[in-house]
Structure 1
Amino acid sequence: MGAADGVVRLGSRFLGGLEPLHSLIYFAPETEKALVGVGLRPGRMCYFAGRSAAFGAVGPGAVAATFYNFNPELVARHLPRAWTLASPESVVAARYQAADQVLRRLLGDEVVASAEVAEAAELAREASAGCQVYGRALYAAHADLPWPEEPHLVLWHAITLLREHRGDGHIAALVLNGLDGLAALVTHTATGKGFLAAAAKLTRGWSDEQWDGVVDELRASGVMDDGDGLTEKGRLLRRRVEEETDTSSTAPWKHLGPEGAARLFELGRGLTERVVGAGAFPPGVFATR
């Protein structure tokens, strides 16, 4: 395996080794409590406003574009109304408050204050310095936020930047390969590695009719078979999307270097195992690798 392949492989490990340390906030009760505390309504409004607040008082179009696989009609039920209830600045502050609380609950104060967390924070921040702003709208919005001071929050923010940077690249790959938000969700579900179809429709706001219509289109184009699985063409399409996502997301790891990246993944894996073991996610959501 060449050096370039090694960097791509390191980047592809991000989802298992580090990303859960950011994503835990979407499952933690502390998050909704903090966001409701500044005025938002419980439920989806907290997710859409919490993740997009870095943009400012943005409308539903920008969120549907950058979150990608949510029904724009669902987004529009909550934005821009959220900004009449709470300012983006207060939502950002509440999100950091929630991150602090949930990390302390899952890791414990001793681990939060440990040298390992401080080292991981330093490495993750350095990796994020290699992220590229061009075409990365959601990353760029979060990169404009000021850095927190405490190491565990520096780590959380840095992983947020790495996650959104990779996510923006993933959307670019989906667009390049002709998959809109719903088609991307349907084909991802068909891989067997994502949601079940019923959960995907429920959480992303798509009706049975909308879902079935896209399935029919994907069958007609040879991407899906009659059993709602992917054809060989469909499997190649999804593989190409993932490979292009990995390739477009290598800049942070090239910047950090292989030794630093390997050390960050080692530290991140240990912390991820702790939070998963402490019940950060419902069963089956994440498996460390």
Structure 2
Amino acid sequence: MRIAVTGCEGQLALGLVERSHRRSGMEVVTIGRPHLDLTEPATILPAIERCRPDLVVSAAAYTAVDQAESEPEAAFAVNAFGAGAVAEAAACLEVPIVHISTDYVFDGSKPRSYAEGDTPAPLSVYGASKLAGESAVAEATPRHLILRTGWVYSPFGKNFVKTILRLAEEREDIAVVADQRGNPSSAIDLADAILDISARLTKSRQDAAFGLYHLAGSGVVSRADFARHALAASRAAGGPWAHVRDIATGGFPTPASRPANSSLSSAKFNATFGQAMPAWQGSVERTVRRLVESISSETS
């Protein structure tokens, strides 16, 4: 099976490449600029068609949450119109698409984890652009699987875990917001889940499994406790450590508002596909060990 993934440098794209190497008969091809540019719709179908995919994973996105507040046109060009064009290309090639969306489509006012049937109400331009992308994908092809996830981290690219470890090398005390809750989600675990279900998605044109799902790490935690766990894992592996000081969101103002609770229930995905994401704690520990080992090898 050949899977075409939009974006070459993203955490999920790199995770899919890495995990596909462990599976016989599975090939992941990443495509990005200049060959595929989500702001240039004319590039999208030819770039994907050249890959001759059995499945498309729409992972490329405008992810600069705060910057999107001053660049709404750019965010919507990529996350809404670009995502729709990728889905149209998949429909033209008669292959299914897995589109990655976000927990930021919700406003965070619900006291419990969000389910797929809850009404979206994004607080930010980024969240609104991703919600518009969901609609564009769903309208372009019935053979879509939209996966909302959140708080993604990995050994690759820029993410919260890597930032916390870097800060721990620079200071003894790190202020982290304690009133935002979510599901830390490993890009490696997400990649495994997508690869696990890919065969089912390509077998049928009318599989009832197509639709909207939440898929995130098992368990809910605050940003501050997420940081504490990552730092404890780092110290256990011989890496940097720092004290985490709780602060309120109001003490760390940002251009874009974040939902206080963006945790997602993955119960629908678990029931449909018969599998669950691992507990976030163990996945964080595995990622941190890789990062610490990488730092050690670079400095030795």
TM-score normalized with structure 1 length:
0.32
| Structure that is richer in helix per residue | 1
Give me the TM-score of the superposition, normalised by structure 2.
0.31
Larger relative strand fraction: 2
Larger relative CO (CA 8 A, sep 6+): 1 or 2? Answer: 1
